[in-house]
């Protein structure tokens, strides 16, 4: 799954992370209760790893039979005693093997926590008559959301205290805070399991009380009709977790009375919703890997039926923004890297009427637009760097919005008012903490509203970042972002180096600041992001060259970047570490099979590693939506190719790096049993004595722990694993 909106909705006061993959099968063999063979040895730091039993399970397709000895580890109910026993034994083993790092973990946690400003407030965002913001206080794990009638917050009102809601829950997440057009009611979603299935509640902001309405089994957000008593929401399939039905609910009525207004019958499409900036239209978004579209509903007519903007077409992608009687359309129509077009609303249904505003340009990808009454701001990417350009709609004059860093991340957010000449942007680089600016669209003048505070002795001048290009084995130049502490970096091949990668779904991992990462940099580490193929760092072709039948380019790029960084002296050849999560965990698994000798250690977080089995099982969450990303293995060509790189299937009798694998029992994107099976098979096959540790959060899902300090504990744990291997004990 992917999600990269250009402008964040004002009350989506949470950052949505890249998403991904899912898992497989059913049937658990319970014939042998000796699931785990463990031995406790009466010595410190001495333990025998859990050994999962083998129950051969045959899977035949295309005349090929695979034997999966650990298929039994799948338990969709997550209650089977032998499965839970095995996972708990893995946790015990991991804790034992890392017991000697407890002091380091603790000091790292205090170090990470010590850089965070406990009492923190976001920059208020105007939406309607109010300014909305969030705050954290003291040792609270969760956010409190507020609103005020002015930017200064002189009359702040608490609209949602997540700390209160989270009491008594091991995991708690809210989503989709959305206030009614008259500002009186607020809808939000609650998830207490981490499966990303939300129950929506409605709160009366004048009384602070909840209405009786509860909408169960949803994607977590609503869109309000303009009558202030009708909401639209997306219902999820309980098995596949796909949001596929759009319902219309009238406040005060039972959910069973809700009207189904749209149902997605093509399981390769995701369904989403939003509202036009002027509030007149509601959009149902249809999105597959290589096609997109939308249906339009009038926000003023509670009996309206959705109408297709245009009929869906294979390989046609577009999104729209409404300004007056005109739609502006970002589309790949006759444009590999997208172009901007416009059309009168009453003529939009015929593509022949679409007129080019910003034509397709070679080597430049158009990423999105933000519209105001007098300005059009567009975001584009050239040679890996994203920039914003403001165009005066009356004069046509353009003004680039410039920043100083050589590589950075910039995004527009919270721009909810059409009658504004100011653009709100978020800016960060690997040496610049996250910063919010207001930019005057007429002059380009920037006003810094807030920069993320980093407590302690942090000084940005102590650090340096670079953007370099590395030649891969096929001659393609791969961008790499690097950061290090100046006085600890020698570029003589002596620094330990941690290399991160993702490379799927077209998700571009731009360079950003991390206060936690300072704990590595201050200990001499170089940190590198390999912008491998499968992202859109160098435009849409960069993505196309790293998916389906070219997926191996993603893995080859990562390995070739490692080799080049060592050759150039950025990292010590015996002190190279790698990290990736979700689809980046697939990257870790493939690289571990291909070039294990290059890495001293790896962290594979919630890794998608059982590619073939998962993609053959349409009952698993997200599978059918992603045929366009990985291919459909029911077709032999894709089956053979996927099988040739699938980390689980390609585990070999060879030495592997030290590895830490993490998952969440309730993961909705990559089911826990994928990494569980992978670890079990690695244990059986690997020929080395290196560490292979498996940590399972028994309460969390794909995104890990829900509290801000609990997340830091997880980071400290991962860092301690890496630092210990690097011989750094404090």
What is the sign of the dihedral through the CA atoms of 650, 652, 656 and 661? Answer: positive
- Nearest 5°: phi and psi at 376? -125, 120
Are 142 and 708 a contacting pair, CB within 8 Å? yes
Active-site residue, selected from the candidate residues 122, 702, 706, 724: 702
Residue 447: is it exposed, middle or buried by C-beta count within 10 angstroms (0-12/13-18/19+)? exposed
Are 339 and 333 a contacting pair, CB within 8 Å? yes
> From CA 93, how far away is CA 99, in angstroms rounded?
10
- Nearest 5°: phi and psi at 701? -125, -145
Are 352 and 341 a contacting pair, CB within 8 Å? no
> From CA 409, how far away is CA 381, in angstroms rounded?
11
| Catalytic residue flag (residue 402) | no
The residue written with tokens 């059009």 in the block is 376
| Catalytic residue flag (residue 149) | no
- Kindly state the helix (H) or strand (E) to which residue 682 belongs, with its residue range: helix 673-685
Residue 304: is it exposed, middle or buried by C-beta count within 10 angstroms (0-12/13-18/19+)? middle
| Catalytic residue flag (residue 667) | yes
Helix (H, G, I), strand (E, B) or coil at 514: coil
Are 36 and 86 a contacting pair, CB within 8 Å? yes
> From CA 54, how far away is CA 61, in angstroms rounded?
22
b/e per residue, 56-78, with b = 16+ CB within 10 A?
ebebeeeeeebebbbbbbbbeeb
Structure-block tokens of residue 326 = 């005109």
Active-site residue, selected from the candidate residues 258, 667, 697, 724: 667
Structure-block tokens of residue 534 = 């499968």
Query: Which residue pairs from 195-202 have beta carbons closer than 8 angstroms and sit at least 24 positions apart in sequence?
Result: 195/241, 195/666, 195/668, 195/701, 196/220, 196/241, 196/668, 196/669, 196/701, 196/702, 197/236, 197/238, 197/241, 197/668, 200/176, 200/233, 202/231, 202/251
Active-site residue, selected from the candidate residues 582, 646, 668, 706: 582
Structure-block tokens of residue 127 = 């939406």
What are 438's strand-pairing partners? 424, 447
Helix (H, G, I), strand (E, B) or coil at 486: helix
Instruction: Write the DSSP symbol of residue 334.
Output: T
By annotation, the residues acting in catalysis are 582, 667, 702
């Amino acid at each position: 799954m992917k999600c990269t909106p250009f402008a964040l909705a004002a009350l989506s006061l949470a950052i949505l992370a890249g998403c991904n993959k899912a898992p497989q099968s059913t049937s658990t063999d319970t014939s042998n209760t000796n699931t785990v063979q463990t031995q406790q040895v009466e010595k410190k730091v001495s333990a025998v790893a859990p050994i999962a039993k083998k129950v051969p399970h045959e899977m035949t397709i295309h005349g090929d039979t695979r034997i999966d000895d650990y298929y039994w580890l799948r338990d969709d109910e997550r209650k089977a005693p032998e499965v839970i026993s095995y996972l708990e034994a893995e946790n015990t083993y991991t804790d034992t093997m890392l017991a000697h790092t407890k002091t380091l973990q603790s000091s790292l946690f205090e170090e990470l926590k010590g850089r965070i400003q406990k009492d923190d407030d976001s920059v208020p965002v105007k939406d309607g008559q109010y300014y909305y913001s969030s705050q954290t206080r003291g040792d609270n794990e969760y956010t409190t959301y507020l609103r005020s009638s002015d930017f200064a917050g002189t009359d702040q009102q608490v609209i949602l205290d997540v700390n209160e809601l989270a009491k008594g829950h091991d995991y708690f997440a809210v989503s989709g805070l959305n206030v009614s057009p008259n500002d009186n009611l607020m809808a939000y979603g609650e998830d207490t399991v981490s499966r990303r299935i939300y129950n929506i509640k409605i709160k009366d902001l004048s009384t602070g009380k909840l209405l009786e309405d509860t909408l169960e089994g949803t994607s977590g957000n609503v869109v309000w009709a303009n009558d202030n008593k009708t909401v639209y929401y997306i219902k999820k399939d309980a098995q596949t977790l796909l949001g596929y039905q759009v319902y219309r609910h009238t406040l005060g009525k039972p959910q069973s009375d809700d009207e189904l207004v749209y149902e997605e019958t093509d399981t390769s499409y995701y369904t989403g919703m939003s509202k036009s900036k002027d509030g007149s239209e509601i959009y149902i978004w249809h999105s597959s890997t290589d096609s997109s579209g939308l249906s339009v509903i009038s926000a003023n007519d509670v009996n309206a039926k959705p109408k297709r903007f245009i009929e869906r077409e294979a390989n046609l992608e577009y999104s729209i923004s409404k300004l007056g009687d005109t739609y502006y359309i970002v589309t790949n129509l006759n444009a590999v890297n997208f172009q901007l077009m416009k059309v009168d609303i009453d003529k939009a249904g015929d593509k022949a009427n679409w007129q080019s505003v910003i034509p397709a340009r070679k080597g430049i990808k158009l990423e999105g637009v933000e519209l105001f009454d007098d300005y059009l701001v567009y975001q584009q990417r050239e040679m890996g760097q994203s920039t914003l350009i403001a165009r005066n709609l009356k004069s046509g004059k353009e003004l680039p919005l410039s920043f100083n860093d050589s590589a950075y991340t910039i995004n527009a957010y919270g721009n909810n008012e059409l009658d504004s000449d100011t653009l709100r942007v978020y800016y960060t680089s690997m040496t610049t903490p996250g910063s919010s600016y207001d930019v005057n669209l007429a002059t380009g003048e920037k006003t810094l509203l807030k920069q993320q505070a980093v407590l302690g002795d942090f000084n940005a001048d102590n650090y340096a970042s670079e953007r370099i290009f590395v030649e891969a084995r096929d001659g393609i130049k791969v961008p790499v972002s690097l950061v290090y502490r100046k006085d600890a970096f020698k570029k003589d091949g002596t620094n330990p180096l941690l290399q991160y990668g993702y490379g799927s779904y077209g998700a571009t991992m731009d360079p950003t600041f991390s206060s936690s990462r300072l704990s590595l940099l201050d200990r001499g580490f170089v940190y590198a992001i390999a912008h491998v193929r499968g992202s859109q760092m160098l435009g849409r072709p960069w993505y196309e060259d790293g998916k389906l039948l070219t997926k191996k380019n993603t893995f080859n790029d990562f390995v070739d970047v490692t080799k080049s960084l060592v050759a150039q002296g950025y990292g010590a050849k015996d002190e190279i570490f790698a990290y990736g999560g979700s689809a980046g965990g697939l990257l870790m698994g493939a690289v571990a099979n291909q070039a294990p000798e290059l890495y001293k250690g790896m962290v594979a977080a919630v890794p998608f590693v059982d590619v073939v089995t998962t993609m053959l099982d349409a009952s698993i969450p997200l599978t059918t939506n992603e045929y366009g990303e990985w291919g459909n293995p029911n077709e032999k060509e894709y089956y053979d190719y996927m099988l040739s790189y699938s980390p689980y299937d390609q585990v070999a009798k060879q030495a592997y790096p030290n590895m830490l694998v993490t998952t969440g029992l309730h993961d909705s994107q990559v089911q826990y049993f994928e990494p569980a099976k992978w670890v079990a098979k690695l244990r059986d096959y690997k020929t080395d004595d290196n560490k292979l540790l498996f940590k399972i959060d028994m309460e969390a899902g794909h995104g890990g722990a829900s509290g801000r300090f609990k997340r830091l504990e997880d980071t400290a744990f991962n860092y301690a694993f890496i630092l210990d291997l690097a011989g750094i004990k404090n």
